[in-house]
Amino acid sequence: MLRSLVAKPHSSQCFIFNLSQKLLHGNGAAQFRATRAFTPRSVAGVSPPSKAIVYEEHGQPDAVTKLVEFPGVEVKENDVCVKMLCAPINPSDINRIQGVYPVRPELPAVGGYEGVGEVYSVGSAVTSLSPGDWVIPSPPSFGTWQTYIVKDQSVWHKIDKGVPMEYSATITVNPLTAFLMLEDGVTLSSGDAIVQNGATSMVGQCVIQLAKSRGIRSINIIRDRAGVDEVKETLKNLGADHVFTENELEVKNVKSFLNDIPEPALGFNCVGGNAASLVLKFLRQGGTMVTYGGMSKRPVTVPTSAFIFKELSLRGFWLQKWLSTEKAVESRRMIDKLLGLVHEGKLKYNMELAPFSDFNTSLDKALGKLGSQPKQVIKF
């Protein structure tokens, strides 16, 4: 069970948590540094009290996270107060809490990086948003695992309320990664092919569908597991041309499986180890493999012959770096396009929507404690 910490006013003064500042340690217990807030009479508005999943130190998420309740904060003239509707638990969220992700918020921190919310109130200078609008932080922003967020209006991007909230909450990190990897670097035309491992991941599912919509064939590699035939059928229903397990590809010439599909010009790797080597084996002369994850925690090993005789290229892709290069406007256009595909039924992926009260169970599922599970999305 998450340890709960409740913020209370001290004496007759009103205080709020400032989660961006460091912790003060005293009397054997950690306390948040507090900053004095304006009284409600001196401000245009104050947000409702909020509940958040907070961590004060890095470590295993199920050990260092706790539920914190804290008072409302001032909504300044350019601020927007958003009542969060839902937010996912992504692998990168877990890595940030563990302290192993390259970019991490200052501690103490609220978990979460993407999500969707409804505008609750706006500051006096805000004209582009109104209460009731649905918004996402775009580019994504730290601290989405909480019931209310107050941030400058520039953080928020208004979206279509006709898209299911769980898709709006998850549209940025994974679908946008898939979209950009297919668009960036290697020019693909209808009839070309791609190969990927980790095909059951959310990015993998999006790659299959986005490639299909452009007439691009896909070869998909999955790990051996119970119920593999059902998994294969699910991916083929999304548009996958071929789905192979790693064991099925332990042959001398994997390209014998291609049949009428051309040798892939582009491959995606999110696993590493042997699964990455299998992607390389499929690539055509001069092909490119893009690595965007390393779920197996094993290195990518490339035979010398692949460089010399096949002239393969290896690249990496990191969405957060791409978003940090003044791409906010461009990324919002892409997100709107992806949400349009969702609305049209042309982009879908497997998720499980769970209430905030069941956060512990959802976290265990995201950590892999309960076997293979769909993406966990918390509903506030």
Residues with catalytic roles: 101
φ and ψ at 249, to 5 degrees? -95, 10
Q: Are 14 and 36 in contact (CB under 8 A)?
A: yes
Cα dihedral: 159, 162, 166, 167 (round 10): -70
Q: Which region holds residue 132: left if phi is over 0, alpha if psi is between -120 and 50, else beta?
A: left
Listing DSSP states for 288-315 in one string gives EEEE---TT-------HHHHHTS--EEE
Does residue 280 sit in helix, strand or coil? helix
How far is Cα 100 from Cα 107, in angstroms, rounded to an integer?
A: 14
344, 317, 116, 329: which is closest to 210 by C-alpha?
344
How far the first Cα of the chain sits from its last, in Å, is 17
How far is Cα 74 from Cα 82, in angstroms, rounded to an integer?
A: 13
Does residue 259 sit in helix, strand or coil? coil
342 membership: H or E segment, kind and range: helix 328-343
Does residue 224 sit in helix, strand or coil? coil
175 membership: H or E segment, kind and range: helix 173-183
Residues 6+ apart with CB under 8 A from 299: 272, 273
Long-range contacts for 238-247 (Cβ within 8 Å, ≥24 apart)?
Answer: 238/205, 238/208, 238/209, 238/212, 238/348, 239/208, 239/209, 239/211, 239/212, 240/199, 240/208, 241/193, 241/217, 242/218, 243/199, 244/219, 244/220, 245/221, 246/221, 246/222, 246/274, 246/275, 246/278
Q: Are 201 and 179 in contact (CB under 8 A)?
A: no
How far is Cα 238 from Cα 199, in angstroms, rounded to an integer?
A: 11
